[in-house]
Chain A
Amino acid sequence: MKLLKIEWLKFKGHPFFWIGMGLYALCMILLVSKAGSIEWTTQNPDNPEGGTRIVNFGEAGFYKLPYIWHNVTYLAGYFKFIPAFLLIFFVSNEFQYRTYRQNIIDGLSIGEFYTSKLWSALGFSLISVLIIGINTWIIAMMYNEDAGSADYLARIDYLLAYFAEVLFLMVMALFLTFLFKRSTITVIIILLYYFIVEPLAGLAIGSPVQDYLPTRPSREMILQPFTRLLKLDAIIGNASAEGVPLRPLLLTFFYTLVFAAGGWFLLKRRDL
């Protein structure tokens, strides 16, 4: 509790925290409420030879239970970088302002400081799940009037996968911030690695090793839902996921632990 309170005092006084979280919540609300009006030009599933047609996501069943959980958490995944950048900003500040060292002088142990940052990572992940969960639940009620509670819970494992995905990114961000101590370089490195270095390396290495690279499992938990939504699975011979696959989920938790241990190792062996 003491550590959480310290983190809260550090966050709440900075406008970036409120702006960032406000933006994150706003993005999520807009995402969930507006995704239904996205229109997509695709092949006509009813007549594969008959050219294209325009599909409206809402009409195609974007909000239908239980698939809404899958659809929404997949899109939300792109916004997880907002809380990650906030965390990088606040933690790198501790090094820039030397408040990390002052915290230790004042009475925290290195372990307590580290734990307080893990709490923040966990806090951001829980807030993310709450925002997307409540949003989705509300909109699901509007579009699924005849659904029972079992329908709501049927694919709620996607919420757990989203939590794992965000927590993984948070802890990885924490590790990189401990490593580089500066927010700009950390943000650049994490984006480069996530979107360019690892995917390219994965292509170069190929299966099955690429499935075990650090960020890959976190993307494989929630696979794209569009081919099912747009009824293209049959045409392109794809099988859309029915629920979160277990292996990537476990691997994601594993890599979260690896980065957490790495962060601890970095803090522990360095002079302040």
Chain B
Amino acid sequence: MENILQTQSLTKRYGALTAVNELNLQVPKGSIFGILGPNGSGKTTTLGMILGVTRPNAGSFSWFGGHHSFEVKQKVGALLETPNFYPYLSAIDNLKIIATIKEIEHPDIEGVLQTVNLAQRAKSKFKTYSLGMKQRLAIAAALLSDPEVLVLDEPTNGLDPQGIAEIRNMILEIGQRDITVILASHLLYEIEKVCSHVAVLRKGDLLFQGRVEELMGEEGVIEVQSPDMDRLKTALATIQGIEKVKEQDGRLILTLNREMEPSELNRELARQEVYVSYLNFRKNNLEKQFLNLIKSTPDHETA
């Protein structure tokens, strides 16, 4: 699959501290790509580098296979840390500045404000907005240039449960539109809810990169493909130990809830006269302790 963003050994040091250590990321086109890690794991530093505001000490990155040019910035809508706007200006005037910077000739300011449900307050000054509204305006701003990629840094941080739900639904809806979303979060729960892919960072090191299902499956995941996918699905429904089945890129991703050897699955499918053209097993190799650290329930989210 085509990658819209690729980093090669991207490294940032602050004095003795290595904030990001030789990071290699591949963000597939069309994915909702989560960057997961506790505070201080290097998420924002990574985003800062790929957005061109933090200078890497080593390594490189490429957008759409090329340099980080003005054309790339036009195609990428991004929000880093907090929503940053001119507090004394209205939503409309703030978006006008962004449209001028991005050289958008006929910006659909009304449209993006409607998308994020801010049309009613379009003329209010930014400083009168609640945090949730500020976050939504940031998403509106990122959508203004009709981007191919949306980069969001902790977009639900500090929001109340209703605000969190709104933002998440918005991200999912945007993901449907053929926009690639890169989302940094310290909440496994959040990544699980909205992302298709995830990279896990700890103290600047990449621990894991892949599909969310692979991260979630306690006993690992199996990817299968068959010339007759419908029969494959029917057969899988009868097999014990499969917690979840998800279709992606013509393959089925099985999340397991008990130990299962690939041969066992293969045997069972063959017994039902379903033959696979692809079978791949991936054991969950993440340290459980770390997972527990970043695992959280919705109750803890506002922390």
Interchain CB contact under 8 A, B80 and A105 = yes
A109 to B102 alpha-carbon distance, docked (Å)? 11
A50 within 8 A of B: no
- B291 contacts the other chain (CB 8 A): no
The total of chain A residues at the interface (CB under 8 A) is 23
Query: B103 to chain A: which residues have CB within 8 Å?
Result: 2, 107
Q: Which residues of A contact B97 (CB under 8 A)?
A: 6, 9-10
Binding site secondary structure of chain A: helix
CB pair A9 B102 closer than 8 Å = no
Nearest chain B CB to A21 CB, angstrom units: 16
CB contact list, A1-49 vs B, under 8 A: 2, 5-6, 9-10, 13-15
Report if B93 contacts A (CB, 8 A).
yes
Min CB gap A200→B, angstroms: 38
Q: Which residues of B contact A2 (CB under 8 A)?
A: 100-101, 103
Inter-chain residue pair count (beta carbon < 8 A): 70
Docked pose: A6 CA to B85 CA in angstroms = 14
The CA of A107 and the CA of B81, in the complex, are separated in Å by 18
Within 8 A of A (CB), among B50-92: 51-55, 70, 73-74, 78, 80-82, 84-90
Complex alpha-carbon distance, A113 and B298, angstroms = 41
Question: Do B74 and A107 have beta carbons less than 8 Å apart?
Answer: yes
Instruction: Name the residue among A15, A93, A107, A108 with the largest chain B CB count within 10 angstroms.
Output: A107
Interface of B is mostly: loop
A108 to B81, CA, bound (A): 19
Are B101 and A99 within 8 A (Cβ)?
no
**A53 in contact (CB, < 8 A):** no
Whether A106 is near chain B, meaning CB under 8 Å from some CB there, is yes
Contact A105 B78 (CB under 8 A): yes
| Interface residue tally for chain B (C-beta within 8 Å) | 29
Asked if residues B70 and A13 are in contact (CB atoms below 8 Å), the reply is no
CA distance A272 to B51 in the complex (A): 11
Determine whether the beta carbon of A108 is less than 8 Å from that of B101: yes
A6 with B93: CB separation less than 8 A: no
Instruction: Give A98 to B90 CA distance when docked, in angstroms.
Output: 17
Does A102 interact with chain B (Cβ within 8 Å)? Answer: yes
- Is B54 within 8 A of A99, CB to CB? no
Interface assignment of B98: CB less than 8 Å from any CB of chain A = yes
Among B52, B70, B74, B90, the most chain A Cβ lie within 10 Å of the Cβ of B52
Whether the Cβ atoms of B84 and A9 lie closer than 8 Å is no
Contacts of B86 in A (CB 8 A): 10, 13, 93, 97, 99
**Besides the known contacts A2-B101, A2-B103, 14 further A-B residue pairs in the complex with CB atoms under 8 A apart:** A10-B89, A10-B97, A13-B86, A97-B84, A97-B87, A98-B81, A99-B84, A101-B80, A102-B80, A102-B84, A105-B73, A105-B78, A106-B102, A271-B55
Closest 3 CB pairs between A and B? A272-B53, A102-B84, A107-B73
Pairs A–B under 8 Å by Cβ, sample size 19? A9-B89, A10-B86, A13-B86, A93-B86, A97-B85, A98-B82, A99-B85, A102-B85, A104-B52, A105-B51, A105-B53, A105-B80, A106-B78, A106-B98, A106-B102, A106-B141, A107-B102, A109-B70, A272-B53
